[in-house]
Amino acid sequence: MNAFLRWVKFNLVGAMGMALQLASLALFNHLSDGRYLLASAVAVELTLLHNFVWHLHFTWRDRSGSASWISQLVRFHLSNGLVSMLGNLVLMRLFIQQEHLPLLVANVIAIICCSIANFCLSNHWVFAGLRQETA
């Protein structure tokens, strides 16, 4: 699969994940009495698991390789998970505390900021598998 088509698939999964993350952030923020960093962490983890399943079976399904899904999940959390969790928490604090942006606006910006690094990490490490790229 060429890189552009994979990028499109990645972004389709990302759009679904963004909707899930924003909805769960709003819910968890409400349930946690406004502890937005805790709510952000839970929403990011839920979204990571959602996106992993979709990427495994849709975005990178042609790269099964010899790696087990559990080893791919570990690599996904060590790469996309760390980028998303740390990026979201740092950026959310900055955007809300310093810039006084609304919660969901701050989260959309944080998600977009982490997206490119997550694609590169997924494409070159997490789902590297059997590379059969075509131009």
Q: Looking at the domain assignment, is residue 64 inside a domain?
A: yes
- Domain span at residue 7 reads 3-126
The answer to whether the beta carbons of residues 133 and 2 sit under 8 Å apart is: yes
Residue 70 to residue 19: CA distance in whole angstroms: 25
pLDDT digits (tens, 9 = 90+) for 98-135: 999 999 999 999 999 999 999 999 999 999 865 554 44
Its pTM stands at 0.88
Q: What are the angstrom distances between the C-alpha of 6 and each of 11, 78, 118?
A: 9, 21, 13
Q: Looking at the domain assignment, is residue 15 inside a domain?
A: yes
- Phi then psi for residue 38, to 5 deg, are -65, -45
Q: Looking at the domain assignment, is residue 55 inside a domain?
A: yes
Number of domains comprising the chain? 1
pLDDT digits (tens, 9 = 90+) for 15-54: 999 999 999 999 999 999 999 999 999 999 999 999 999 9
Q: Looking at the domain assignment, is residue 134 inside a domain?
A: no
- Cα-trace Rg, the chain: 15
